[in-house]
Amino acid sequence: MDVSLSLNTILDRVTYSSYEGELGVRAITGVSSLTEAQTGEACFVSSNKYARELEASKASLVILGEDVEASPKEGQLFLRVEHPSIEIAKLCELIERAMWVKPAPGIHRMAEIADSAEIDPSASIAAFVTIGEGAVVGPRCVIGSGSRIGENCRLGEDCWLGANVSIERDSVLGKRVRIHASTVIGADGFGYEFEAGRHRKVPQIGSVLIGDDVEIGANTTIDRGRFGPTRIGEGTKIDNLVQVGHNCDIGKHCILCAQVGLAGSTTLGNYVVMGARSGAAGHLTIGDGAQLSGECVAYADVQGGGKYGGSPAVSLIAHQRITVLRRRLPDLFRRLKRVEAQLLQD
């Protein structure tokens, strides 16, 4: 990691309420965990339960909560902040910019661009990219090597696509959309009708609409609608290995963790959170602000604002109680058999 951040640069970026100590190095060269940080690196501490690790830490800069009880060692600077995790993220943003320099505008000579495609001069198109007829790529977009932009797709300004991303025909991306490697947007929805002993394919002639500031992880698939569009709302963040079926309608600022699966025509309200490997059976609605724990599956509509677990989904408290009881079943059966035996003797 070849990075050098001056103290003034850090203080301009981090929102801190007070500071203690003195930085013993000229610049911060990286961010690491509390236990692994070395001289010249930064770390963060969110609570007093890490006090022992902090005392032993070699970090030169520590971003820590305002209520953490600790004092800096010689050559160590503490920045007191309200939200340590957020402030260290700001520092990581500075490092990210230094590490991954945005490529220069232009179209690589080994890219294949259709004659009717419109590419903004400030966009960067890498080698082996294919852009179809009628596609539009907005200002400052970056498209990684091997990616495909299908016919009549539209990318808003400042979109970033990793390597080997496929955006199939008629898909629309808003501004500042980030899509990681090997993700597919706009593949056919999974639609078949059983006829005369065979599965007859139902054409999927819809599209995908993705709002501003959406981020989509690697190897995720978002299917096109059967008729109208599949929608992903503004600010939603989707992890790796997620499947979004045809005609799903995902609201604003939702979180979908790894291996979430949404069957076709599922509707998610705004600010829905779905834990890893959770899912929905399709043609149902999950209300605003609902939270589904890992491996929770909804088979019917879920009201907004609640926390849910289990399969089928029930309130998280009920799911936790059921889990405790399930673990006790072997013992309960043994006790039941003893009671039955006693009753038979009586």
Q: How far apart are CA 336 and CA 241, in angstroms?
A: 45
Q: How far apart are CA 291 and CA 285, in angstroms?
A: 13
Q: How far apart are CA 262 and CA 289, in angstroms?
A: 17
Beta bridge partners of 298: 280
Q: How far apart are CA 64 and CA 61, in angstroms?
A: 10
Q: Are 136 and 155 in contact (CB under 8 A)?
A: yes
Q: How far apart are CA 188 and CA 204, in angstroms?
A: 6
Nearest to 183, CA basis, from 170, 169, 168, 164: 164
Q: Active site includes 83?
A: no
CB atoms within 10 A of CB 302: 22
Beta bridge partners of 267: 249, 285
- Of 83, 246, 253, 319, the active-site residue reads 246
Between CA 87 and CA 97, with CA 93 as vertex, the angle to 5 degrees is 160
Cite the active site residues: 246
